[in-house]
Amino acid sequence: MEGNRENKNVIIGWGLAGAVLSWQLYFENRTFSVFDSLSNHTTRVAAGMVNPIVFKRLTKSWNADLLLPAAQKFYTRIEQELSVKLISHKSIYRVFASIEEENNWNSKEGDDRFSAYLTTPNKEELPDEKFVNYPFGIGKVNTFGNLDTNKFLDASKAFFLEKGLEFYDEVFDYNTINDSARFFFCEGMGVKQNPLFSDLPFKPTHGETLMIETSDLKFLHTLNRNMFLTHVEGNKYNVGATYNWELDKPITTEEGKQNLVERLAAFTNFDYKIVAHLAGIRPNVKDRRPLLGIHSTQKNAIVFNGLGAKGVMIAPYYANQLLNHVFNDDALDPEVNIERFHN
């Protein structure tokens, strides 16, 4: 890789944040190396869903009008670079839980602020009522689909290795930080062992998902009703997710499994078998905004973390903003700048 070699860039962490940041560096023709401890769970467990809507309040996700088009452009470009399909063009179908929710949806659908996202699906689009219960109807969210997060990480790593990227499958030693490089910390919850950024106000959230197989449901998009049920491939579907603020390790639990089974049974009726049970720790932040910025004293230490449940949509736009901040001294949005916790 040709590029800016006088100062090396080191990325610590190979989850969503690290991989997206690597691509943004690559697009700027900057060299970099990566430390991958092979301990990341969250990105590999994630469904990779891009959802511009918050269903609980039926409002747009934070900065959705900026983040969604940037993400679509970014992942489309990656697909072209890799010649690999990463995006499954699924819409999200919201199963209404009440007549009030249906009425609220219909009123928002007629609002210009939501018209790009909310629609009423045609009858032929809907799942078979034998297998999905929707007495109050279904609404449709227009989005560009789901990112295959595992394929994104693996194909990106293979691509960069072929380009001569230095990729270290080992835990980063913080004692090796020096002034000869910039260090971008994209560690997820591994940041709690980072002496430079461990004081940031994370609110780690344990989550579990199931992979199921069923020959009954022939629905190739995503259903949502207090959980997601999204088609993966063939007869396989992802089911999730749980939220637990007590567990601090990515372990699966019988309680989490039963929670998902019961929530799925609340709106579906089909036979299936569980083929995988996965868990991860989400690097959520107390104010639900990402964490970007430069350390207050160690000026070559940079953090890109806290992307949360909407990370696939958030990461491309803010990785680009972070690099403009680091290399061009452009301002960071105050909502994401880590200085918001130091004032």
Are 305 and 184 members of one domain?
Answer: yes
In a domain, 304, yes or no: yes
Q: What is the mean pLDDT of residues 282-294?
A: 92
Q: Is 97 exposed, middle or buried (0-12, 13-18, 19+ CB in 10 A)?
A: middle
Q: Which two tokens stand for residue 122?
A: 């045609």
Report the DSSP beta bridge partners of residue 301: 183
What DSSP character marks residue 312?
Answer: H
Are 156 and 262 members of one domain?
Answer: no
At residue 46, what is the residue type? A
Q: What is the mean pLDDT of residues 173-195?
A: 93
d(CA 210, CA 276): 6
Are 325 and 337 members of one domain?
Answer: yes
Are 256 and 127 members of one domain?
Answer: yes
What is the widest separation between alpha-carbon atoms in the chain? 63
In a domain, 126, yes or no: yes
In a domain, 74, yes or no: no
CATH number at residue 215: 3.30.9.10
Q: Which of 249, 265, 282 is the last residue of a domain?
A: 282
Give the pLDDT confidence score for residue 4 in this predicted structure. 40
For residue 209, is pLDDT > 80? Answer: yes
Q: Which of 282, 308, 324 is the last residue of a domain?
A: 282
Shortest CA distance to 139 belongs to which of 107, 161, 113, 169?
A: 107
CATH number at residue 182: 3.50.50.60
Are 134 and 215 members of one domain?
Answer: yes
Confidence of residue 5 (pLDDT cuts 50, 70, 90): very low
Q: What are phi and psi of 209, to 5 degrees?
A: -135, 160
Cβ–Cβ < 8 Å for 54, 61: yes
Cβ–Cβ < 8 Å for 181, 32: no
Are 10 and 138 members of one domain?
Answer: no
Are 96 and 171 members of one domain?
Answer: no
Q: What are phi and psi of 42, to 5 degrees?
A: -60, -50
Are 258 and 212 members of one domain?
Answer: yes
Are 336 and 226 members of one domain?
Answer: no
For residue 207, is pLDDT > 50? Answer: yes
Q: Which two tokens stand for residue 256?
A: 């989490």
The H-assigned helical ranges of the chain are 16-27, 42-45, 64-82, 99-109, 149-162, 254-265, 311-328
In a domain, 255, yes or no: yes
Note down the domain range covering 136: 91-142+205-282
d(CA 10, CA 313): 24
In the predicted model, what is the mean pLDDT of the chain?
93
Are 211 and 138 members of one domain?
Answer: yes
At residue 160, what is the residue type? F
Are 335 and 303 members of one domain?
Answer: yes
Q: What is the mean pLDDT of residues 269-282?
A: 94
In a domain, 26, yes or no: yes
In a domain, 78, yes or no: no
222 conformational bin, left if phi > 0, alpha if psi -120 to 50, beta if neither: beta
- For the ranges 27-31, 74-78, 182-186, 278-282, the lowest mean pLDDT is seen at 278-282
122 CB-near residues (< 8 Å, 6+ apart): none
In a domain, 315, yes or no: yes
For residue 162, is pLDDT > 70? Answer: yes
3 state DSSP class of 336: coil
- For the ranges 18-22, 207-211, 280-284, the lowest mean pLDDT is seen at 280-284
Domain count, the chain: 2
Are 138 and 210 members of one domain?
Answer: yes
d(CA 40, CA 49): 18
Confidence of residue 343 (pLDDT cuts 50, 70, 90): low
179 CB-near residues (< 8 Å, 6+ apart): 300
In a domain, 221, yes or no: yes
**What is the percentage of the chain residues whose pLDDT exceeds 70?**
97
Q: Is 249 exposed, middle or buried (0-12, 13-18, 19+ CB in 10 A)?
A: exposed
Helix orientation angle between 64-82 and 311-328, rounded to the nearest 10 degrees: 90
Q: Which residue has the higher pLDDT, 260 or 308?
A: 260
Render pLDDT for 256-273 as a digit per residue (tens, 0 to 9).
999 999 999 999 999 999
Q: Which of 236, 254, 282 is the last residue of a domain?
A: 282
Q: How far is CA 297 from CA 49, 99, 177, 294, 311, in A?
A: 37, 55, 13, 9, 28
Looking only at the bridges linking them, the beta strands covering 59-60 and 205-213 are unpaired
Render pLDDT for 121-140 as a digit per residue (tens, 0 to 9).
999 999 999 999 999 999 99
For residue 3, is pLDDT > 50? Answer: no
Q: Which two tokens stand for residue 242?
A: 């749980």
For residue 340, is pLDDT > 60? Answer: yes
Q: What are phi and psi of 62, to 5 degrees?
A: -50, 125
